[in-house]
Amino acid sequence: MISKKVDNVQVALSGVKNGMTFMLGGFGLCGIPENAITELVRLGIENITCISNNAGVDDFGLGLLLQKHQIKKMISSYVGENDEFERQMLSGELEVELTPQGTLAEKCRAAQAGFPAFYTPAGYGTEVAEGKESREFNGKMYILEEAFKADFAFVKAWKGDAAGNLVFKGTARNFNPCMCGAAKITVAEVEELVPVGELDPNNIHVPGIFVQRIFQGSNYEKRIEQRTVRTRG
């Protein structure tokens, strides 16, 4: 067994520098790498480019990095839940590249799987296609999208082991598996780091080869963005 285990978030994030490009898993606030974000805020790394489906809310998730003006550019599909984000974008402080959600996921997966680029129909005929090569296949038009290049991927899983194997829970899976192995270094934080051998090899969602560092996370808040319930009876 090749161990990927590191003692804490400080060791896990060693090597992060100003100006780097980071991938961060999560959909809304669901499945975000809370510990890595807190550490990036503490380190005060600046001028970073974040690839993340959303930008958090004002006081949680990537919103914490926005508050401190640490983000230079966001690459996301939907950013509608964050007032500070809106303010920084409209004032020109923040660069934003909006990307269709499926394209965003596939640009991660392509980087993971060694594809430099792929054709997708999403965005053909829209401003997303501007400046991109387009091509017809079987009578339908597609645009060429390139794989992401990133320095670090920060992902969050439910369970993991020292081998770097990961298991996710519910829809907290989302972009996390697509980002594993899609950056030079993948850092996984887990709610529960279990002894090697405990996870059933049949039920591993991400094999450890895609993960370089794994650590036991702590103090998960797991904030709910839209609490919707029905009444009994």
Partner 1 sequence: MLDKNGIAKRIAKEVKDGYYVNLGIGIPTLVANFVQDDIDVEFQSENGVLGMGPFPFEGEEDADIINAGKQTITTMPGASFFDSATSFGMIRGKHVDLTILGAMEVAENGDIANWKIPGKMVKGMGGAMDLVASAENIIVAMMHTNKAGVSKLLKRCTLPLTGVGCVTKIVTNLAVLEVTENGFLLLERAPGVSVDEIKAATEGDLTIDSEVPEMAI
Residues that bind partner 1 (CB under 8 A): 27-31, 53, 76-81, 86, 89, 96, 98, 100-106, 108-109, 120-128, 158, 168-178, 205, 222-232
CB of 183 to partner 1, least distance (A): 15
Asked if residues 204 and 179 have their Cβ atoms less than 8 Å apart, the reply is no
CB of 222 to partner 1, least distance (A): 4
Residue closer to partner 1 (CB basis): 16 or 147 = 147
- 95-98 and 213-216: which strand pairing? unpaired
Residue closer to partner 1 (CB basis): 45 or 177 = 177
CB of 140 to partner 1, least distance (A): 9
CB of 27 to partner 1, least distance (A): 4
Asked if residues 47 and 17 have their Cβ atoms less than 8 Å apart, the reply is no
CA torsion through residues 191, 109, 19, 90, sign: negative
CB of 184 to partner 1, least distance (A): 20
Residue closer to partner 1 (CB basis): 10 or 126 = 126
> If you ran DSSP here, which 8-state letter would residue 163 be given?
T
* Buried-exposed string 180-216: b where 16+ CB fall within 10 A, e elsewhere: bbbbebbbbbbbebeeeeebeeeebbbebebbbbbbb
For residues 74 and 96, what is the distance between their CA atoms, to the nearest angstrom?
5
Residue closer to partner 1 (CB basis): 5 or 78 = 78
Give me 3's structure tokens: 């161990």
Closest CA to 23 of 144, 208, 187: 187
Residue closer to partner 1 (CB basis): 136 or 232 = 232
Residue closer to partner 1 (CB basis): 21 or 52 = 52
Residues in the chain: 233
CB of 44 to partner 1, least distance (A): 28
Beta carbons within 8 Å of 169's beta carbon, 6+ residues apart:
158
